[in-house]
Amino acid sequence: MDGVGSFGAGRAGSEFDPFSFIQQPQTILRILAWIFSIVVFGSIINEGYVNHGSERLYCIFNKNNDACNYGVTIGLIAFLACIFFLVLDIKFQQISSVKDRKKAVMLEIGFSGFWTFMWFVSFCFLANQWQRTTPDELPLNQGADAARAAIAFSFFSIFTWAGLTVRAVQKFLLGTDMALFRTDHLDGNQPVQPYPVGPATETTDTYQSPPFTENLDSNAPTYQVPIY
């Protein structure tokens, strides 16, 4: 079965329209999630480490390197994932198999839902470590804006990835309904319609005499078997 109009996309192989693609809510959310991820890991890498009386650099989040590493890792993976799924969205209409489209949508649901949770953990973790950071341990005037930006955009990323999860679920449900509609004629439980037979007709014509018979003449001589 081909991928005609399945999972929210048009006919497989149809022409790609960049203008309408950019206006789709899913594309807007994807671009926002991509920008937010850049802000998070970029802020931590550039200004998330400070030098406090030594040559060693400390993470501005309560000197907890795990906090900085977590924020950078989550943001970098989200950055790459946004690019991957953006390309997948562009190529989605070129996928002719409904099964392959279903796998792509399920992959997006799983990853987007999981990364929504990971961003929630990032926000809670970074905010908690920032609250524990005191001026006695670190000069908060250095990198304070970067720390707040990482926390704020981690919070914003929760909603963007949650929105992407909802959109992916909607695509999955739409594709499921259309697949059922397109395969109802393949259900083996459907009754088989018999071949239409026209009304039976009876012939009223009868033979006046049996076929291949001749009228016998009573005066004609009869043949007698010779006796030897």
Is 198 domain-assigned?
Answer: no
In percent, the amount of the chain with pLDDT more than 90 equals 42
- Dig out the tokens for 136 from the structure: 């006695």
Residue 175, domain member (yes or no): yes
Is there a domain that residue 138 lies in?
yes
Q: Is residue 88 in a domain?
A: yes
- Say if 16 falls within a structural domain: no
**Which H or E element spans position 69?**
helix 65-91
Instruction: Give residue 19's pLDDT.
Output: 74
- The domain in which residue 137 lies consists of 36-179
pLDDT in tens, 104-136: 999 999 999 999 999 999 999 999 999 998 877
Is 101's pLDDT higher than 70? Answer: yes
- For 1-30, how does the pLDDT look when each residue is reduced to its tens digit (9 = 90+)? 444 455 555 554 456 667 787 888 999 999
| Residue 50 domain-assigned (yes or no) | yes
Question: What is the residue type of 146?
Answer: A
pLDDT attached to residue 12: 47
The mean per-residue pLDDT over the stretch 164-187 comes to 67
Q: Which residues contact 9 (CB under 8 A, 6 or more apart)?
A: 3, 92, 93, 101
Q: Distances in Å between the alpha carbon of 227 and those of 147, 180, 220, 224?
A: 138, 90, 21, 9
User: What is the C-alpha separation between 154 and 131, in angstroms, rounded?
Assistant: 16
Domains: count for the chain: 1
If one counts every other C-beta atom within 10 angstroms of the C-beta of residue 132, the result is: 13
| Chain position carrying tokens 């998070």 | 40
Q: In this structure, is residue 156 part of a structural domain?
A: yes
- The model carries a pTM of 0.69
Reduced to 3 states, what is the DSSP secondary structure of residue 11? coil
Q: What is the pLDDT of residues 57-88, one digit of tens each?
A: 888 898 899 999 999 999 999 999 999 999 99
Distances (CA, A) of 51 to 39, 104, 140, 146, 149: 22, 45, 11, 15, 20
Mean pLDDT rounded to a whole number for the chain: 78
Establish if 131 belongs to a structural domain. Answer: yes
